[in-house]
Amino acid sequence: MKSTSLNTQLLINGDRLNQTISRLAEIGKLPDGGVKRIAYSQEDIVARNLVQNWMQEAGMTIKIDPAGNIIGRYPGKYPEAPALATGSHIDTVPCGGYYDGTYGVLAGIEIARVFRENHIFPNHPFEVIVFTDEEGSMIGSKAISGRVIKDPNYYRRPDGTDIFSCLEKIGGNWDNIAQARRSSKDIAAFVELHVEQGPILESMGKQIGVVEGIVGQRRFNITVKGSANHAGTTPMHLRKDALVAAAKVVLAVNQIGNTPGQQVATVGKMQLLPNAANVVPGWVEMSLDIRDLSSLHIDSLLQQLRLHLEEIAVETNTQIRLNPALHNEPALAEDYIQNAIAKVSEDVQLSYTYLPSRASHDAQELAQITDMGMIFVPSELGVSHSASEYTSPQQCIDGANVLLRTLLRLDATKSPTNHMPSGIL
Amino acid sequence: MKSTSLNTQLLINGDRLNQTISRLAEIGKLPDGGVKRIAYSQEDIVARNLVQNWMQEAGMTIKIDPAGNIIGRYPGKYPEAPALATGSHIDTVPCGGYYDGTYGVLAGIEIARVFRENHIFPNHPFEVIVFTDEEGSMIGSKAISGRVIKDPNYYRRPDGTDIFSCLEKIGGNWDNIAQARRSSKDIAAFVELHVEQGPILESMGKQIGVVEGIVGQRRFNITVKGSANHAGTTPMHLRKDALVAAAKVVLAVNQIGNTPGQQVATVGKMQLLPNAANVVPGWVEMSLDIRDLSSLHIDSLLQQLRLHLEEIAVETNTQIRLNPALHNEPALAEDYIQNAIAKVSEDVQLSYTYLPSRASHDAQELAQITDMGMIFVPSELGVSHSASEYTSPQQCIDGANVLLRTLLRLDATKSPTNHMPSGIL
């Protein structure tokens, strides 16, 4: 085994990493250049097999847990120590790109290859985890955090397929899914490398994103009840126009989103009734999606919004209701992991910035059971979930090197017999 | 023939009028108390036959013109004089009430009955016209104004039935429809009596509405092009949110509607793309409906709105287009007919107010060819096109008396050999 001082000069093989990214994108490739590799599909299974081959070639042993997660494990110097883990997913949205998820998995495998060819054994075992169905139910990472919903019907696929047969296809087993749960006793820390899927790094000209956490998300269904009436014969002052009220709600939400802070707030969906050119709208239903790293901040914004909605209801003579539809708490990245990523970026002379992840990631589930960190690389024009998703080969290499060195830094500073951070970074 | 001084004491038979309203409502009555008597339907044909019987009993001769309009004619003292005409329609919306259209027709027939039983022959022949398909194409009154569209496909029914067979069923003939056209040479004036279908008379506590004209209507399709983006990863300041822009448009339209004046302005219809809770809306399409008695005023409001839309587009980084979809010019009621209605209302001690009609009526087509006036009676709560449409028996009687006396006043003041108003009222 080489010394830590040597390890810090270690770099991944960039060409090899990028070749595997291109190779995996062949599986499920669409005519427009996008990739369709839906979880549990034939394409997903082919890709899972290829990834397992690559893991084995990189010297990893493989375990499929009951949730179908692929856990590739590279041995550590202290086999009983909790693992340092990375990973992501290789399933895609129906028309996805090359990088979302895949990049984090393949960078992890590349790191194992580098360990193997340099005869490096870190103190902690090193794991690369391929999480099941990130783009859908996130059942893989939820099984690891012990947060799978008990009702199997919840996991039925849009095409009607049940979760039993889905998991069976990929080597999992619904009945034993509780056994997939892990804890900080066997994962000392989890660091996920991912494309940003947003425009911030590119717009700031930064190479690396040190993720502060994955934002909490609340979703609501807002209903506005007015009174449908003839758009000709009903004078303006006698109207209860649900759309006028809804328009004020949209602007109130936008105003909340634009107050100082890192929150985003969106009305993305709206339906009117009766939705006819010659009828004053009597009913509007719309979505509200609000995200921030701080749950308290979201609470405070929602409190402001509620007051605003009450005023709008009075002003417009309508009834407005805010009905909760989703509540995800923020998942914060550990400070010491953020610091490690930042210092490693400085070491390798890559510019970086701190930013929240406003999209969901498997890392948010891992944060429930262990110390979590995330590294972002830029997405061209912020585009994702699209055939035109793009991160350059060099950007892919940079992120993988930061992941490699962050893991080595954590390995060196975390005690293999005590998973708490040493505090000396 | 009785003298004019006697005629001014004349009243309609209120019970008889209200009985015919109830009787006609039996044809097409729905379980909820509403009425379904769609143009050209079996119910419409049964009702048309009943109305023709009543016309004949009232001493009228009947003609069906090529558009299927029923023209009942009561003889005047000067048979060659242009007629004084009233009328409306007996077809209904799919779930209509007792009064919309029907009331005006039956009040006209009641007036003929009063003439007949009092041996009155006005100077001008008196016509009651039942216009074809007012609730749909308005083909009846448009044929009389010579504004039928030449392409028969335009008049195809929603169920696919062609206009040829529809007109044939009711005694009309598409091929000769141009011959239905009339002019001021044979209709000296047209006065329509109708329920208001709006809340103004009731809210002002007035018994009679002197209609100033039927508002002009412009309809537009407004499109907003923004940029669809991830509602999580796209920071607020980098968004081109088409719904935020659309909300500002809705409020700008509402503001235009609420400036001093009698206009109404409505966004009744809106569609979003992609319309998903987690996507910033990239595209919004909406309707704009704006109505006023003055075309110049509409132009000026639209000019204000256009400036506002340009500002909104710049503010929100979106593209906004205003595409014309419909353009109906206002149809003004003649001052001398408005005066006649007002003075008659004073004579019979009924309170009245001037107001525009913001709904369409056959009278707007008649205004294209002759002098037009309209009388409104209150609609309870302003409700119309509904089973709960209601105007009380006394209100029906009041309106019919005002129509009777207005026609007598016009008959006395208009020269039967010169259809221009005498100016002496």
User: Please, what is the angle between helix A14-25 and helix A42-57, to 10°?
Assistant: 160
What's the one-letter identity of residue A353? T
All residues of chain B having their beta carbon less than 8 Å from the beta carbon of residue A216 are none
| Residue in B closest to A355 by C-alpha | B233
Mean per-residue pLDDT, B42-50: 98
What angle is formed at CA A131 by the lines to CA A128 and CA A137, rounded to 5 degrees? 165
| Residue in A closest to B288 by C-alpha | A277
Cβ contact (<8 Å) for B359 and A233?
yes
| Residue in B closest to A231 by C-alpha | B266
Confidence of residue B7 (pLDDT cuts 50, 70, 90): low
Confidence of residue B418 (pLDDT cuts 50, 70, 90): low
Tell me which residue in B244, B275, B360 faces A251 most closely, judged by beta carbons. Answer: B244
Q: What is the pTM of this model?
A: 0.81
Tell me which residue in A248, A280, A325 faces B268 most closely, judged by beta carbons. Answer: A280
Q: Among residues A309, A285, A312, which one has the least CA distance to residue A223? A: A285
Which pLDDT score, from 0 to 100, does residue B8 have?
A: 56
Q: How many helices (H) and strands (E) does chain A have?
A: 12, 18
Mean per-residue pLDDT, B293-310: 97
The answer to whether A217 and A325 are in contact (CB under 8 A) is no
All residues of chain A having their beta carbon less than 8 Å from the beta carbon of residue B287 are 277
- How many percent of chain A have pLDDT more than 70? 96
| Residue in A closest to B249 by C-alpha | A247
Cβ contact (<8 Å) for A200 and B235?
yes
Residue A422: pLDDT over 70: no
What's the mean pLDDT when you consider all of chain A? Answer: 94
Confidence of residue A379 (pLDDT cuts 50, 70, 90): very high
What residues contact A349, with CB distance under 8 A and at least 6 apart?
A: none
Which pLDDT score, from 0 to 100, does residue A421 have?
A: 47
pLDDT digits (tens, 9 = 90+) for B230-274: 899 899 999 999 999 999 999 999 999 999 999 999 999 999 999
All residues of chain B having their beta carbon less than 8 Å from the beta carbon of residue A203 are 238
Cβ contact (<8 Å) for A198 and B237?
no
Backbone angles phi, psi at B290, to 5 degrees: -135, 135
All residues of chain A having their beta carbon less than 8 Å from the beta carbon of residue B257 are 236
Cβ contact (<8 Å) for B234 and A270?
no
Cβ contact (<8 Å) for A233 and B269?
no
Cβ contact (<8 Å) for A243 and B229?
no
pLDDT digits (tens, 9 = 90+) for A302-349: 999 999 999 999 999 999 999 999 888 999 999 999 999 999 999 999
What residues contact A1, with CB distance under 8 A and at least 6 apart?
A: A77, A119, A120, A121
Mutate to test the interface with A, among B229, B233, B298, B327 (most CBs of A within 10 A): B233
Max mean pLDDT range (A6-10, A367-371, A384-388): A367-371
Cβ contact (<8 Å) for B266 and A198?
no
All residues of chain A having their beta carbon less than 8 Å from the beta carbon of residue B235 are 198-200, 262, 264
In this structure, what is the dihedral angle of CA atoms A73, A74, A80, A85, given to the nearest 10 degrees?
Answer: -60
Per-position DSSP letters for B117-168, written without gaps between them = HTT---SS-EEEEE-TTTTTT-HHHHHHTT---S-GGGG--TTS--HHHHHH
pLDDT digits (tens, 9 = 90+) for A210-252: 999 999 999 999 999 999 888 998 999 999 999 999 999 999 9
Cα–Cα distance list, A88 to A101, A122, A370, B165 (Å): 5, 21, 16, 67
Mean per-residue pLDDT, A274-282: 91
3-state secondary structure of A111: helix
pLDDT digits (tens, 9 = 90+) for B31-45: 989 999 999 999 999
CA B424 to chain A, closest CA, distance in angstroms equals: 33
CA B403 to chain A, closest CA, distance in angstroms equals: 22
Cβ contact (<8 Å) for A359 and B233?
yes
Mean per-residue pLDDT, A352-367: 95
pLDDT digits (tens, 9 = 90+) for A18-62: 999 999 999 999 998 999 999 999 999 999 999 999 999 999 999
Count of CB contacts below 8 A, A vs B? Answer: 177
Q: Which domains, and CATH codes, for chain B?
A: 4-214+330-413 (3.40.630.10), 216-328 (3.30.70.360)
Which pLDDT score, from 0 to 100, does residue B19 have?
A: 98
Residue B402: pLDDT over 70: yes
What angle is formed at CA B176 by the lines to CA B175 and CA B182, rounded to 5 degrees? 145
Confidence of residue A4 (pLDDT cuts 50, 70, 90): very low
All residues of chain A having their beta carbon less than 8 Å from the beta carbon of residue B200 are 235
Backbone angles phi, psi at B322, to 5 degrees: -120, 105
All residues of chain B having their beta carbon less than 8 Å from the beta carbon of residue A357 are 233
CA pseudo-torsion sign B221, B227, B228, B232: negative
Which pLDDT score, from 0 to 100, does residue B424 have?
A: 40
Confidence of residue B422 (pLDDT cuts 50, 70, 90): very low
Confidence of residue B209 (pLDDT cuts 50, 70, 90): very high
Which pLDDT score, from 0 to 100, does residue A418 have?
A: 62
Predicted ipTM > 0.90: no
Which pLDDT score, from 0 to 100, does residue A8 have?
A: 56
User: Please, what is the angle between helix A335-347 and helix A393-413, to 10°?
Assistant: 120
Mutate to test the interface with B, among A202, A204, A266 (most CBs of B within 10 A): A266
The rounded distance, in Å, linking the Cα atoms of A287 and A34 is 29
Which pLDDT score, from 0 to 100, does residue A352 have?
A: 98
Neighbours of B327 (CB within 10 A): 12
Mean per-residue pLDDT, A141-165: 94
Mutate to test the interface with A, among B135, B214, B243 (most CBs of A within 10 A): B243
